[in-house]
Amino acid sequence: MDLGISGETALVLGGSQGLGLSCARSLVGAGVRVAVNGRDPSRLQEAVHSLGDLAVAIPGDVSRPDSRKAIVEQAQEQLGRISILVTNAGGPPPGPVERHSHAVWMQALETNMLAALEFAVALVPGMKEAGFGRIVNVTSFTVPQPYANMGLATGVRAGLTGAMASLAREVAPYGVTVNNVLPGLMDTGALERVYNAQAEREGITPQVAKQRMAESIPMGRLGTADDFGPACAFLCSRLASYITGVNLRVDGGLVQSML
Ligand SMILES: NC(=O)c1ccc[n+]([C@@H]2O[C@H](COP(=O)([O-])OP(=O)(O)OC[C@H]3O[C@@H](n4cnc5c(N)ncnc54)[C@H](OP(=O)(O)O)[C@@H]3O)[C@@H](O)[C@H]2O)c1
């Protein structure tokens, strides 16, 4: 299927592994030139190499306000105007709400809420001017369905979801769409940290914790990174021109909600 975005340009934050890399891969597959971001230089180089000639590496830590401007500038230097933004980063640590310090909350806010907002605000003017733009935020199934010990992840992403819902209405007249993709329990880096923590809390092996998670999903299996990227790329496509302000769950039926 032709997604109609061949030749467009994208910045994929936190794109050097897992779900972000899957988004980058699907965009490259649609002919998009992609600036891929991540902190670890060797992981980033490996990812970009695996994506081929349409991808370039933009190292930097999105949680640091001072490095966000540099990431945008480098992406624009390499690719020109950016028409597609995918916001992503590592998730906040799991754990009971009572145990998180102020510093941990601030780090989660910077990484998983404020970074996405600031990148969007930086790139929206160019998208509006061009009359085409796509913003896709990687959030979480815990936004519609809260989980114990996921208070940080749920709290900051609920805030991001609210702000992005407003932005979607503000930029809709300019051909710019803003949507969120909500991973369920996907067998990638973030989930490994969650089931390892669960195993430790409950005195079970990580394998048993992982198996329990898989059994809690109507499809009977954890998601994979490859389940995710195509949904992200579709929302970035011209085919999705009339879809904005949605929360698309990619979760094998995990979230128990009709809407
Ligand atoms: N997997 C799941 O089941 C699941 C479920 C719900 C929500 N989510 C959320 O979806 C997101 C992606 O999950 P994942 O499993 O793909 O995570 P992952 O495997 O840990 O990958 C995270 C990616 O983001 C990069 N990154 C992390 N922190 C960054 C930062 N501050 N600045 C720039 N890049 C950064 C990482 O590379 P570097 O470390 O080299 O920077 C890596 O490329 C996470 O936020 C996670 O919480 C995942």
- Successive 10-residue mean pLDDT values, the chain, 259 residues: 97 98 98 98 98 98 97 98 98 94 98 98 98 98 93 97 98 98 94 89 94 96 98 98 98 95
Closest CA to 155 of 94, 71, 196: 94
pLDDT at 178: 99
pLDDT at 189: 85
Number of H helices, E strands in the chain: 9, 7
Q: Are 153 and 92 in contact (CB under 8 A)?
A: yes
Q: Are 23 and 187 in contact (CB under 8 A)?
A: no
* Cβ(185) – ligand 1 distance below 6 Å: yes
* Cβ(59) – ligand 1 distance below 6 Å: no
Q: Are 153 and 142 in contact (CB under 8 A)?
A: yes
Q: Are 225 and 186 in contact (CB under 8 A)?
A: yes
pLDDT at 24: 99
3-class DSSP state for residue 177? strand
Give the mutation target among 12, 19, 219 for probing the ligand 1 site: most ligand atoms within 8 A of CB.
19
CA of 131 to the centre of ligand 1 (A): 30
Question: Which residue has the least CA distance to atom 25 on ligand 1?
Answer: 14
Instruction: Given CATH 3.20.20.70, say whether it is the number of domain 9-184+225-249.
Output: no
Q: Which residue has the tokens 């600031």?
A: 118
CA of 189 to the centre of ligand 1 (A): 7
Residue 244 DSSP one-character state? -
Closest CA to 226 of 33, 21, 15, 4: 21
CA of 129 to the centre of ligand 1 (A): 31
* Cβ(61) – ligand 1 distance below 6 Å: yes
Give the mutation target among 64, 67, 188, 210 for probing the ligand 1 site: most ligand atoms within 8 A of CB.
188
Cα separation, 230 vs 19, whole angstroms:
11
3-class DSSP state for residue 136? strand
**Can you state the angle between helices 41-51 and 18-29, rounded to 10 degrees?**
30
> What sign for the dihedral angle of Cα 85, 90, 96, 100?
negative
Question: Which residue has the least CA distance to atom 46 on ligand 1?
Answer: 91
pLDDT at 193: 86
CA of 156 to the centre of ligand 1 (A): 15
* Cβ(87) – ligand 1 distance below 6 Å: no
Ordered by start, the domain boundaries in the chain are: 9-184+225-249, 185-222
